[in-house]
Amino acid sequence: MNIVLANDGLAQSGIELLQKEGFEVITTRVAQEQLVNFINTNSISVLLVRSATEVRKDLINACPRLQLIGRGGVGMDNIDVDYAKSKGVHVINTPEASSASVAELVFAHMFNGARFLHDSNRNMPLDGDSQFKQLKKSYASGTELRGKTLGIIGFGRIGEATAGVALSLGMKVLFHDHHTEKATVKLSFYDGQEVQFKLQNSSLETVLKNADFVSIHVPSQNGYVIGKKELAQMKPTAGIINASRGGILDEVALVEALDNDKLAFAGLDVYESEPQPEIKILMHPKISLSPHIGASTQEAQQRIGLELAQQVIKLLK
C-alpha cells in the first residue's frame, strides 16, 4: 500500500479520493528536523507539501522509498525539483487550482489602495467617533478602477486570471511576459455568455509608464524584477501589488518611493524577509497587507486537494 504524508495539510476532497483508491493518508504535521525519520519509519512513498515544508537534496537522499513529491500550489522553490527528478522521484504541483483566488486577492488590495480602506480600517476604530469629519476629508480623494489601466508583469495562469477580473471591471490591460507574445483572455459569465479579449505583449517600460496599477506574477528569481529604476518609471499616482514571491520587489526602494510621493500605494501578500516582514513595511500607511494568503481560499484548497490526488493516482496506480 502507498502511504501519503500530507505534511502541510490536504483538503478533505483530496483525502477522500486517495483513500477511495486504496492510499493511506497521514495528515500529521511533522517538524522539518524530524521529517526524514518519520518518512522512513512509516514507509512513506508520497510526500505532499505546501510552502511550509522544505524538500531538499539531503531529505531526498535520506528517503529512498519516496516515489513522489507534490506541491499544493504553483511555486516549487521549496523543493529541489531537478535533483528529485534525477533520482527518479516524480514531482508535481497544481498550477491552475489557485489562479482565481490569487487574482481576487490582488483586487482586494487594489480596492483597498484606491479607496484607502487599509488605512481607514486602522484609524476608524481609534478616531472614528472623535474625528469623523477629518477622516472623511482625508479619505475623500479615492479613485475608481473602471477606465484605469492595469499592467501585469508575468502572464502565466495567475496573470491571465488577474487580467480577466480587470477586464470584467472595465479596465484596460497591458502585460509584459518573456514567453507569451499574444494572449486571448476568455471571460465566462453566470448565464453561459462568454466574451473574448485579445491582448498583445508590451515592453516592461511601456507597461510601467502607462499603468495606473501594476500587479506582479512571476516565479522566484535571482534578483529584483522591480527595483528603484523600474519604480521610477511608474506614475506617481500609481499603485503596485505583489502577490507572487518575496524578493521580486525591492522593498527598500518601494518604501523610498512611497515616502517621496513617487508612488501612491502598494499591496503586499509576500515579503522579502518572510515570515518576519520588516517593521517599516508593516507600519506603512500606504501599504495594504496580507500574510501570504493568495491561494488560501476554501475553494482553491478543495481544487488543490483534488488535483494533487488525481495526479498521485495517475502516476502511482
**What are the pLDDT digits (tens) for 58-113?**
999 999 999 999 999 887 889 999 999 999 999 999 988 889 999 999 999 999 99
Would you say residue 52 has pLDDT above 90? no
Residues 103 and 92 reside in one and the same domain: no
For the entire predicted model, the pTM comes to 0.88
Distances (CA, A) of 298 to 169, 293, 294, 309, 310: 24, 11, 12, 17, 19
Residue with cell 469629519: 133
Residues 242 and 148 reside in one and the same domain: yes
Boundaries of domain holding 113: 99-289
Q: What is the CATH number of the domain that holds 176?
A: 3.40.50.720
Catalytic residue among 245, 251, 303, 307: 245
Pairing of strands 46-49, 3-6: parallel
Residues 91 and 225 reside in one and the same domain: no
Residues 175 and 190 reside in one and the same domain: yes
For residue 179 the three cell numbers come to 514567453
Give which of 3, 160, 9, 162 is closest to 72, Cα–Cα: 9
What pLDDT is stored for residue 77 in this prediction? 86
Q: Among this protein's residues, is 245 annotated catalytic?
A: yes
CA atoms within 13 A of residue 273's CA, in its CB half-sphere: 9
Cα distance between residue 155 and residue 297, in whole Å: 22
The number of distinct structural domains making up the chain is 2
Would you say residue 48 has pLDDT above 90? yes
Average pLDDT over residues 207-211: 98
- E-strand stretches of the chain: 3-6, 24-26, 46-49, 68-71, 90-93, 149-153, 172-176, 182-188, 194-200, 213-216, 239-242, 265-268, 287-289
What pLDDT is stored for residue 76 in this prediction? 87
Strands lying side by side in the sheet with 24-26: 24-26, 3-6, 46-49, 68-71, 90-93
Residues 67 and 190 reside in one and the same domain: no
Residues 67 and 206 reside in one and the same domain: no
Catalytic residue among 21, 24, 54, 274: 274
Residues 157 and 272 reside in one and the same domain: yes
Residues 257 and 110 reside in one and the same domain: yes
Q: Among this protein's residues, is 284 annotated catalytic?
A: no
Determine the residue type at 156: G
Q: Among this protein's residues, is 157 annotated catalytic?
A: no
Residues 134 and 19 reside in one and the same domain: no
Residue with cell 522579502: 272
Cα distance between residue 98 and residue 144, in whole Å: 27
Residues 282 and 309 reside in one and the same domain: no
3-state secondary structure of 28: coil
Distances (CA, A) of 263 to 96, 103, 223: 32, 22, 21
CA atoms within 13 A of residue 87's CA, in its CB half-sphere: 21
| Per-residue pLDDT band at 51 (split at 50, 70, 90) | confident
Residues 224 and 87 reside in one and the same domain: no
Would you say residue 140 has pLDDT above 90? yes
Residues 48 and 137 reside in one and the same domain: no
